[in-house]
Amino acid sequence: MEHSWAIGNGQLVIQLGDLTTMDTDAIVNAANSKLAGGGGVDGAIHCAAGVDRLQNACREIISQIGRLPAGQAVITPGFNLSARHIIHTVGPIWRGGSNDEPALLRQAYQNSLELARQYGLESIAFPAISCGVYGYPMVEGARIALGALKHGLEAGLVRKAFMILRTQDTLDLWLREADATL
């Protein structure tokens, strides 16, 4: 079941699901700075998109930029995914909150939305960036993400933004934060 909010001329949807199966213009990969694949969302996206082709595309980007800093975003084709594109962004590793983590997390969402607008994409699906192995506290991460998504939808950067969550407990937490934030 999806939960949705009308924001500006767009819509925010929060639901349980598998990000790799979303039929959107883009999905967002919570990537590492070398775009090298890995565990969690990143590994699942690489497997579903086709490891060889996605890694080749990522290596080409890294050969040009060296590494992708936290808060920044780049785009590749979706390859074997239903989504036409993958926007790769690096969220901050949680180090207690005094190393610009909130600003960097906000930038990861904002820059992903800006990149979607630059490519004329209307729908985008996000995971809970940095809230897994990078250790970002879920409540604070949800507040930052929801604020950034609300701002992006109000600015007309996309028409539809999805937050795709993996467990009922996580969904319940995000819905509570959405009710308080939106």
According to DSSP, residue 161 is labeled E
Residue written as tokens 């180090």? 95
Q: What is the CA radius of gyration of the chain?
A: 15
41 class by beta-carbon count within 10 Å (0-12 exposed, 13-18 middle, 19+ buried): buried
Cα–Cα distance measured from residue 30 to residue 60, given in angstroms and rounded to the nearest whole number? 18
DSSP reduced 3-state for 37 = coil
Active site residues: 42
DSSP reduced 3-state for 94 = coil
